[in-house]
Amino acid sequence: MKPIKREPSSRMAKDRAKVRGSFNDEPEVHDIDLSDSDDDATWTPFRERQRQAAAGVPPEERDEDSDEDDDVETDEEIHVSQLGVARTSTSHSTAKRRKISASTTPLPLPTRLVPDGKEFSIGDFMVLKADANRESAPIWRLDSKTLLQRFNAVQGSSGKWLHQSANLFTSYAASARDTYYSLAVRFIRYDKGDSTVQVTERGFDAASSVSAVLRKQSLEQTKAFQEPFEVYIQALISQCLDANFLQEVFQDKGTLFNTIT
């Protein structure tokens, strides 16, 4: 007797299809490559941050192993920090050296008087003869062979008159030498674009003193001839007024006019 072969019911077929579908929905598990697990590079918080940043993990969701790791600086962070400090220190040192160099600029040597009749040289100071008697008058510095720079008068805190450079220039020619007196000055402050000087000696004062000395010496040398010269002038005038004056003097041998006979 043959066994009766039953057809599977539709319900059993449905159940088998569900079981088969559940197996197909399981996630596929990939093999983990552990070949290089023992040769991993030294881990640091800094490298972990770089890895998470490269993976696109937002900063607020990045995992930190411990609070202590945040306080530990890596060698790269220390190096960068030291470079920043070194650069800042170098910039401050350079600025300080420049400031000291600017504040310690040496002053030029005082100028000297130029004798009358001698040409001025570049750097010499002078004043117009028309302004020689005014202390508040501007003075001039020979900036080039054909150019004068003006220095305006300013009154210092001590009441003395100083002269400060101005950005004003005028032409100069050697033929105008006789219209200026020479000045000797010393520098109070000096910079490439700004200078202040004080007049220490004036050429016209020296010329006046020399003239006075020469006059005194001349009077001393000619004092012995002063009285005979006065008698001669008196006799000359008298002869002009009276043509017989000298003849009468010779005849009378007057003591007053003996010095001219």
Q: Which two tokens stand for residue 114?
A: 């130029």
pLDDT in tens, 6-48: 555 556 656 666 656 555 555 555 555 555 555 555 566 666 7
Lowest pLDDT segment from 202-206, 228-232, 237-241:
202-206
For position 223, what pLDDT does the model report?
A: 84
Q: Domain spans of the chain?
A: 104-222, 223-260
For position 66, what pLDDT does the model report?
A: 45
DSSP 199: E
For position 31, what pLDDT does the model report?
A: 53
Question: How far is residue 247's CA from residue 261's CA, in Å, rounded to a whole number?
Answer: 11
For position 133, what pLDDT does the model report?
A: 83
Question: How far is residue 210's CA from residue 139's CA, in Å, rounded to a whole number?
Answer: 23
Q: What is the 3-state secondary structure (H, E, C) of 100-126?
A: HHHHCCCCCCCCCCCCCCCCCCCCCEE
Q: Which two tokens stand for residue 212?
A: 């006075």
Question: How far is residue 65's CA from residue 45's CA, in Å, rounded to a whole number?
Answer: 8
247 or 11: which leads in pLDDT: 247
pTM reported for the whole predicted model: 0.43
- The partner residues of 152 in beta bridges, in order of sequence, read 164
Question: Does the structure show a pLDDT above 50 at 68?
Answer: no
